[in-house]
Structure 1
Amino acid sequence: MKNLHKSMLGLAVLVAILFQFSCNPDEGPRIRPFDLTVMIGFPDDYSATEAAGAKVTIKELASGSVQEQTASADGRVDFTQLVPGAYELSANLQLTAEQAEEIVGISVPLNLNYLDNNLMLTAEVAEQGPLEIQLSGSASGGLIIKQLYYSGSKTPEGSNYFFDQFYEIYNNSDEAIALDGLLISNVYGPSGLINPNTAPSPFADDQDNVYISTAWRFPGSGEENILQPYTGVLIAQQGINHQEENANPSSPVNLSNADFELFVTGSTRDIDAPNVPNMVMVYHPFNATFSLVPVFGPGTILWKTEDFGALEQVSIPDTSPEFPRVVKVPKNLVIDAVEALRSETDGAFKRIPVSLDAGFSFVSNTYTGESIIRKSVVLDGHKVYQDSNNSSEDFILLDQPELP
């Protein structure tokens, strides 16, 4: 019934859009502009209601035209001279630890977000009254996913090479943090319109959970792997020098000095580099050979749980009972999340809840040797990376990866 309701609503909006145009052949088509009021609210469990100061952006998808406004004291934003069509509506509000303490009761900075990347608007919709939206968000943690190199590279012969992928985790705070027991995972779902029949993740509507297809854990019992302030660790798919002749001389990276690698236990084809410690393979049912992530763009989360086995394993719709399941991770277990999709036009394929990552990043193409990395500033002599829980704003593209 939910999908039928969405289909009927979409049809009704389409009909309304068609009626926005004049049918007088002497006058030609005429668009009737309209204004739209948006009311921005906090989550239900916050003591405050109106999200004053939120930055709100509306983008017409057809033309790319953008309007940006700041919510007034009553959480109101007014957009003018809109035309019927599809829009992307986003909002962001960053709370300091002091502000969060006052309205939430926890003294940590919070990033609050909202995103609707396919909002159909007409004059009739706007005339029904203000559009009410509600922010959601998560705490700003000290650990972040700083850099992702997933695109892979081309060999001198023009073949595709994907064994040189890596993650970089960074301590963005002024306190040492133990990595022991933390997990890093791929989020299930396609990265975009890979072929005409590709459909978004069937779990995308669940904004309270993340559905993962892998889980790798940092080794250690609690105090063995300490990440000092403003330093990072590199996790390689294979911890070797990928620029050697028997690998890919055209690869942009030598990962023989990686801190950890993702060796697939039981694989007869994966390489277990003897000088690079292995991450613990907790869950890896979809590929028994290698630990590669999607070269079109991975969804990635850094998270922690005290009992992985207690998490629900969910069947993927329209698959056989024997097909591997995904693991349902409540979003409150997530420390950091990064969404990377195939291209700028693939926003409908977002897999990560908006409260964890309101946007997405991308590279120019597969096997380009490009990586994505967070924007940074130098504060008191330390490099600090931007983390607004919006990968569209936080990340930039590098022509080749930056090794620590």
Structure 2
Amino acid sequence: MKKLLFAITLVTLALSACKKYQGDTTEIHPVKFLVSANYASENLSKLLSKTQVKITFKNNKNNKENIYYTKSDGTLSLDSISPGSYDISASIEVLPADYTRLTGEIVNKSIIFNASEKARTITIEDNQSINLKLISGPIGPWVIKQIYFAGSNATTGALFRDQFIEIYNNSDSVLYADSLYIAEAIGIQNTTSSIIYRQTNGQYDWSKSQGMPSNIDANNDYVYTRTVLMIPGSGRQYPVQPGSSIVLAQTAINHKSPFTGSDGKTISVRDPSLTIDLSGADFEAYYAPFLPRPLASDIDNPLVPNVNVLSYNGTDLVLETSGRMGYVIFKNKGTVDIKDFPRYPFPTIATPTANTDKYSQIPLSYIIDGVECQTNVATARVPKKLVTPLDALYTYVPNGIYSSQSVIRKTEGIVNGRRILKDTNNSSEDFDFLPLASPRGFK
């Protein structure tokens, strides 16, 4: 009997010990993890400091963030991190005087370098590592300030009719919005399809698209867009003062009040507090002229100028309410009309047909600012559409679809009454949210 009890005890201890190391049980067996941050440019790696690179670990299970800083050699050694899925990012700001002194290149603004890896799985094995390559991105005078994609309650609010995008003059000079382009960046929206070519990060491998030239870096030097809109104007028709913004509304009306749709029927909301007044928007997207059956809610406010629609998706400027899109603003730097830019289909394994949709290829060098959005549900997030120089990670609204929440860029400082918004090319750092979207509001 004693032998039997002894044997049972040994088996119990063995099972208990094994349970600790089960691969599907996280946060039980902390492990060691090494981060190395280096500049992607070998020349800059020799010149610029790697001390105090900010390293952020965001746990995809509970969205908790932990922040660390590298040593002088750009490394960070973690002695105890729980296994799981993490978004890992690195960022460092080099002040203009330091950048000029170290590189000899004269700049008048800080240079921000970023790197990231989304959904990195840390297992129960010790001594894993990651090498993050720091890249600088565009820091332009225009920034995307606020994106209201979530919409308001489908029953008591305005659904998606009240969506808008706000663009801000983050400089100290008057800018002209004329011929500024706003576009939705397209990419893979699921992680299960087996009929497409993918990169190692899960995103489309655009280099495999039909007709794509072989002598370009199709995945890293371009953004692919499904909607391209342009602010009209003669060149100096729409001035925007420093610290001011322009609002592009899906439909520029007061969504709190009843209105008559294009079908003659009244459209109203049960709870006006859930939605917003967009009658003061600067521009609106009016798709009805292009559609055989436009939405009844897509009415034209004659007091608000319409943007030029170069390409569009769906029945109106309906932003994906779960958030899983990228948004970019850009100006044309060349002599080729944007509408004549190359267009390519998704990189499907099967040969596309003549009727397959195609998407505009926009050079990264044209882009002034980009923001990646995702869903609030970590397990439903999709591979990033914007490369690290444009946006190292992403932003989202915590309450998700139809929550009336918007994502909004943080205020970094105020100079002579002018708000300067944070712009590090990392939306995880730069953006917060508003519990109720507010055109021209601040955070």
Q: Report the TM-score range of the alignment, normalised by the length of the smaller protein.
A: 0.7 to 0.9
Secondary structure at the counterpart of residue 223 of structure 1: coil
Contact 1:235/1:260 (8 A) holds in 2: yes
Matching residue of 2:233: 220
Deviates more, 1:178-187 or 1:30-39: 30-39
Identical columns (%) = 26
Matching residue of 1:366: 401
CA distance in 2, matches of 1:296, 1:39: 34
Matching residue of 1:151: 150
Matching residue of 1:353: 387
CA distance in 2, matches of 1:302, 1:352: 12
Matching residue of 2:210: none
* Pair 1:384-2:411 in alignment: no
Matching residue of 1:202: 204
Matching residue of 2:376: 343
Secondary structure at the counterpart of residue 111 of structure 1: strand
Deviates more, 1:326-335 or 1:63-72: 63-72
2:182 to 177, 181, 184: 184
Q: Cα gap change, 1:29/1:215 in structure 2, threshold over 3 Å: closer, same or farther? A: same
Matching residue of 1:41: 38
Unpaired runs of 5+ in structure 2?
A: 1-12, 22-28, 207-217, 259-265
Q: Cα gap change, 1:342/1:122 in structure 2, threshold over 3 Å: closer, same or farther? A: closer
CA distance in 2, matches of 1:26, 1:243: 60
CA distance in 2, matches of 1:330, 1:125: 41
Contact 2:116/2:132 (8 A) holds in 1: no
Matching residue of 1:103: 103
Deviates more, 1:117-126 or 1:85-94: 117-126
Q: CA deviation at 1:344?
A: 4.6
CA distance in 1, matches of 2:18, 2:179: 66
Matches within 5 A, 1:254-403: 254-264=277-287, 265-267=289-291, 269=294, 270-284=298-312, 286-287=313-314, 289-297=315-323, 298-305=325-332, 306=334, 307=336, 308-309=338-339, 311-318=341-348, 320-345=353-378, 346-363=380-397, 364-376=399-411, 377-403=413-439
Matching residue of 1:117: 118
CA distance in 2, matches of 1:137, 1:339: 17
1:331 partner amino acid: L
Q: Cα gap change, 1:65/1:257 in structure 2, threshold over 3 Å: closer, same or farther? A: closer
CA distance in 1, matches of 2:424, 2:53: 13
* Pair 1:237-2:250 in alignment: yes
Deviates more, 1:349-358 or 1:162-171: 349-358
Q: CA deviation at 1:145?
A: 0.9
Matches within 5 A, 1:86-97: 86-97=85-96
CA distance in 1, matches of 2:106, 2:341: 26
Q: Cα gap change, 1:402/1:317 in structure 2, threshold over 3 Å: closer, same or farther? A: same
Secondary structure at the counterpart of residue 423 of structure 2: coil
Matching residue of 2:7: none
Aligned length: 376
Contact 2:138/2:390 (8 A) holds in 1: no
Q: CA deviation at 1:254?
A: 2.0
Compute the RMSD of aligned alpha carbons. Answer: 3.2
Secondary structure at the counterpart of residue 127 of structure 2: helix
2:406 partner amino acid: S
Structure-1-length-normalised TM-score: 0.82
Q: Cα gap change, 1:248/1:151 in structure 2, threshold over 3 Å: closer, same or farther? A: farther
1:311 partner amino acid: F
Q: CA deviation at 1:91?
A: 0.5
2:38 partner amino acid: G
Contact 1:48/1:103 (8 A) holds in 2: no
Structure-2-length-normalised TM-score: 0.75
